[in-house]
A and B are shown apart, each in its own frame.
Chain A
Amino acid sequence: MNDLISYIWLIPGLPILAALALTFWPVAKRKGAAWLAISAMALSFVISLFAFGAVPRSAEEGVVTRLIHNFTWFDVGTSSMRIGWILDPLNVVMLVMVTFVSLLVFIYSMGYMEKDPRFVRFYAFLSLFAGAMLGLLIANHLLVLFMCWEVVGLASYLLIGFWFQKPSAAAACKKAFITTRIGDLGLFIGMVWLYGEAGTLLFYDAGQGCLESSSLRLIASLPGMAGMTAAATIGCLLFFGAMGKSGQFPLHVWLPDAMEGPTPVSALIHAATMVAAGVFLMARVHPLLTYPDAGTQALSFITWVGAITALIGALAACAQTDLKRILAFSTISQLGYMMLGLGTGGVAVAMFHLITHAFFKALLFLGAGSVIHGCHDEQDIRYMGGLRKIMPVTFATYGVGMLALAGFPLVTSGFWSKDEILHAAAHWHGHPAPFIMALVGAFLTAFYMTRQMCHVFFGKNRLQERENASEEHPVVPHESPASMLMPLRILAGLAIVAGFMGTPLFPWFQSFLEGGTLEWHGTALFHGSTLGLLIGSSALVLGGLIVGWWFYSSLVFDPLRDKDPLDEKLPAGWFATLRAKFYLDEFYESTVLEGARLLAMGAAWLERHVMIPMMPLFAFGTRIMSWITRFWDEWVINASFDRSCKGIQNQSERVSTAHTGNIQFYLQIVALGFVLLAIIWIWGGGQ
């Protein structure tokens, strides 16, 4: 099916067309709007499955075959702008995942956003987002990828601020956009530099692309900044963009605030897809980072940042009380893991965790949405509890997701994918600190997820103790409708099953992505470090679960009245620091934002006290200029013209005195002239 690649644009094209149609859709026809979006997404999913079947498998280890379709977009004079689509193992797995998760979220939103007045607009934004994300995935051209990147950012802004009447939501969407923009600056500089050196932004172009050996050889030989090669510097710059989009430290501050958006949005964008775009970008440009002579500084940078992010995210999640914010920090932490895997182990390791994370994080968010919906829009976990019996399906699926996230041994996908990362980190030839941080993070992940489960699903239900609840209007939680529960069930199944495609015994995923023959490694489990790591990480996870249960089991404390047990155990002030996200927001507020505010105030002062008083001055100056011009025109130009005319007149008057009208005078002059001519003629040589 080799011409599938030329129709691959349909995958993002259909949702974009749906978004366009939904922009003009009548507001009353909600069901129609939802089904339009869902059917467009379903079609994209089907095409993605076909694409999955069409991708060629390569039998050679380390060699990947790709389907490319490049074409000319437009011509400018003699040169032309060529862009293209690509279909290779890397993006086809993501295509399938993104279309599938989007489809589930679209179906889920039918129930969740039922009561919202801007229902149709919501689906328009969602389709726009989906189309842009898919376009990002199939792009073979860095600029096209960047354009889709920006549209994805825009859609995120629109969706986070969907309930813009809430001031916190409006602030959050602005924060998200600006923070990611800062990262995008690095991405843009890197892109321009890459274009300058390679001459093309097409990734693969029959040997001429910027990720192919001829360009890479050139870029790796050129010097970059701070002693790195150009390739490594470009890699770091591109990673800045990924830092913004994928919420790495220190640009992660927008992700917790992005939870102001509706929960389906959080599930789709800030768990499974958009935040993974950064990881995808780094995976896409991985040849640039791993070229033999390019230097490993970029990879080291990625690894360190990823490790720090993983740890910080996990630490902050331990002290949050908002249901979605715990999940947000968990996302930050897991993204850190992905970057760590990318830096130490390569594309397959990171992508494996990305795929499994997409499934179980989407599951967790949708489950959280179900909980919030059922608790009448309550998001504080201290007011929840005991939902295990009231919302059993939600509890079961959420439990599966939680175990997958924590990495419960052997049966969950999270276990296998996280183990790959730990394996890669352990065998990294750099500093051992990232590995240690990853281990600590694994422990903490299990811990805070248990904390959350205990608060939400176990113990006594505390919803009545909310401020707006009273005896007359009891606030009773309930289970969610079937349209919301169905996606939960599907995702729960996937969260378990998906892991088995990447176990060391049968590494289908790795061989699919990196090429190589697929065989059953029967004894792979029992190789030295592999087994040790498996057992060690299992121990960490179980330990985290046990400690969490010990602290937070409902038998022990009451969240509303007692202080958090962690707070009691830790030294004074540490819990507050964790709760306040390490005061990073306050730090940014006082430095960057304050600086911007000072600049704005300075500009306002300048305007009011310098510019405006100068206005009369300018007016006066203009009047002087016009007066001078008039003076010049009237007294110099006109006068000189008049004078010259008068001069001509005078001269002509003087000349005209020769016209006396006297015939005899004329005759005299004629005779005189004739005689003189005769003299000249005679003495001039004539005869």
Chain B
Amino acid sequence: MDTLIPYLLLSAGLFCVGLTGVMLRRNAILILAGVELMLNAANINFVAFWRFHPGADDMSGLVMVLFTIAIAAAEAAVGLALVISIFRHYRSTDPEILEDLKG
């Protein structure tokens, strides 16, 4: 590719899809999936910019991506554990049931 633009557009699109999913899905697990999607979109951004950055031995972009992947995975694990814990309590994964803060 000649320019960054396609990759960045892809990244932006994925991010927005993920955001919309987070905002609109009625299942807590799929909200977490949307979060994962957003993180991945950001990763694409990182890699694209790494690719187009001069400097042959500069690996900082990739390092960042590696870290992000690792952290995202850990966070997904913890988040899902939380969802399961909530499910045990409320018997549902609908985020609308968590309305103790209403009012």
Interface set of A (CB-CB < 8 Å, partner B):
656, 659-664, 667-668, 671
Contacts and interface: CB of A to CB of B under 8 A. Distances in A.
A659 B103 contact: yes
Contact of B98 (A656, A659, A663): A663
A659 B101 CA distance: 7
A659 B23 contact: no
Contacts of A668: 23
A660 B23 contact: no
Interface in B10-56: 19, 22-25, 31
B99 interface: yes
A671 B19 contact: yes
B32 to A, nearest CB: 12
Contact of A664 (B24, B101, B103): B24
A662 B31 contact: no
17 contacts: A660-B99, A660-B102, A661-B98, A661-B100, A661-B102, A662-B96, A662-B99, A663-B95, A663-B98, A664-B22, A664-B25, A664-B95, A664-B96, A667-B22, A667-B23, A671-B19, A671-B23
Nearest first, the 8 closest Cβ-Cβ pairs linking A and B are: A661-B99, A661-B102, A668-B23, A661-B101, A663-B95, A656-B103, A659-B103, A664-B23
Contacts of B100: 661
Nearest to A662: B96
Contact of A662 (B19, B22, B25, B95): B95
A662 B23 CA distance: 10
Contact of A659 (B19, B25, B102): B102
A661 B96 CA distance: 8
Nearest to B22: A667
A671 B23 CA distance: 9
Interface in B56-103: 95-96, 98-103
Given A659-B101, A661-B98, 15 more contacts: A656-B103, A661-B99, A661-B100, A661-B101, A661-B102, A663-B95, A663-B98, A664-B23, A664-B24, A664-B25, A664-B96, A667-B22, A667-B23, A668-B23, A671-B23
Contacts of B25: 664
B12 to A, nearest CB: 12
B29 to A, nearest CB: 14
A659 B103 CA distance: 5
Interface of B: 19, 22-25, 31, 95-96, 98-103
A660 B95 CA distance: 12
A662 B95 CA distance: 7
A660 B103 CA distance: 6
Contacts of B95: 662-664
A220 B25 CA distance: 112
A621 to B, nearest CB: 53
Contacts of A662: 95-96, 99
Contacts of B19: 671
Contacts of A659: 101-103
Contacts of A667: 22-23
A547 B95 CA distance: 142
Nearest to B102: A661
Contacts of A671: 19, 23
Interface centre among A656, A659, A661, A671 (most CB of B within 10 A): A661
Contacts of A663: 95, 98
A356 B99 CA distance: 119
A662 B96 CA distance: 5
Contacts of B98: 661, 663
A232 B98 CA distance: 106
A185 B75 CA distance: 108
Nearest to A675: B19
Contacts of B101: 659, 661
Nearest to A670: B23
A682 to B, nearest CB: 14
A664 B28 CA distance: 10
A668 B24 CA distance: 9
Contacts of A664: 22-25, 31, 95-96
A129 to B, nearest CB: 93
B82 to A, nearest CB: 12
A662 B19 CA distance: 16
A298 B23 CA distance: 113
A76 B83 CA distance: 89
A651 to B, nearest CB: 14
B5 to A, nearest CB: 18
Contacts of B22: 664, 667
Nearest to A653: B103
B86 to A, nearest CB: 11
B71 to A, nearest CB: 20
A662 B101 CA distance: 8
A663 B103 CA distance: 13
A648 to B, nearest CB: 16
A663 B99 CA distance: 8
A431 to B, nearest CB: 111
A660 B24 CA distance: 15
A314 to B, nearest CB: 112
A227 to B, nearest CB: 96
A671 B22 CA distance: 11
A668 B31 CA distance: 13
Nearest to B25: A664
A661 B103 contact: yes
A667 B20 CA distance: 10
Contacts of A660: 99, 102
Contacts of B103: 656, 659, 661
By CB atoms of chain A within 10 A, which of B22, B23, B25, B31 has the most? Answer: B23
A667 B31 CA distance: 11
A667 B95 CA distance: 12
A662 B97 CA distance: 8
A667 B99 CA distance: 14
Nearest to B19: A671
A661 B95 CA distance: 9
A656 B25 CA distance: 24
A659 B100 CA distance: 10
